């Protein structure tokens, strides 16, 4: 049975778009379930899980902060957070998501090499690891 799911990413690195596309293919998600903009074109509405993938910097963009602050249970029952950056940045985002009232099912911190559009692709090993992580997060939501 399909799961009501969204994959949202906020990154200029190609790897995050590759990640979102891999999850879209794995779960056969419709085109409007994937977005690289904040706020997304289609709002979250009672999603079983939102996979939020961001390249974090020490200063969080205001649109991302506002979006995370609105992720309550009417928008998403569960959120899985993937952060390309430092643990401290992931903790800041996670705290905002928890304060909004949704269930944070997991946080994963990674480093995608490269800078914006120069490099930043996922290795096959990292892609497989991330797909497995999402599978575990989805299983935790059922």
CA distances to 42, 74, 83, 125, 135 from 131, rounded to whole Å, are 24, 26, 14, 10, 6
Task: Give Cα 1 distance to the centre of its chain.
Answer: 22
What is the mean predicted confidence (pLDDT) over 25-37? 90
Q: Which residues does 25 contact at the CB level (< 8 Å), separation at least 6?
A: none
The span from the CA of 55 to the CA of 10, in Å, is 6
CA distances to 29, 83, 100 from 89, rounded to whole Å, are 29, 8, 17
Percent of all residues in the chain with a pLDDT value above 70, rounded to a whole number? 94
Percent of all residues in the chain with a pLDDT value above 90, rounded to a whole number? 65
pLDDT of residue 1: 46
User: Which range (56-70, 78-92, 113-127) has the least confidence?
Assistant: 113-127
pLDDT of residue 99: 96
What is the mean predicted confidence (pLDDT) over 94-110? 95
Say which residue, 116 or 11, is predicted with more confidence: 11
Band of residue 3 on the pLDDT scale cut at 50, 70, 90 = confident
What is the mean predicted confidence (pLDDT) over 28-44? 87
pLDDT of residue 107: 97
CA atoms within 13 A on the CB side of 71: 34
82 membership: H or E segment, kind and range: strand 78-84
């Amino acid at each position: 049975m399909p799961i009501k799911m969204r994959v949202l990413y906020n990154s200029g690195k190609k790897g995050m778009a590759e990640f979102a596309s891999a999850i879209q293919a794995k779960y056969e998600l419709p085109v409007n379930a994937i977005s690289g903009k904040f706020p997304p074109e289609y709002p979250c509405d009672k999603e079983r899980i939102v996979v939020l993938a961001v390249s974090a910097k020490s200063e969080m963009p205001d649109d991302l902060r506002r979006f995370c602050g609105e992720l309550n249970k009417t928008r998403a029952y569960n959120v899985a957070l993937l952060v390309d950056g430092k643990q401290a940045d992931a903790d800041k985002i996670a705290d905002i998501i928890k304060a909004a009232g949704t269930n944070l099912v997991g946080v994963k911190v990674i480093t995608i090499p490269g800078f914006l559009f120069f490099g930043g692709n996922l290795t096959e090993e990292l892609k497989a690891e991330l797909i497995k992580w999402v599978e575990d997060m989805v299983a935790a939501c059922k």
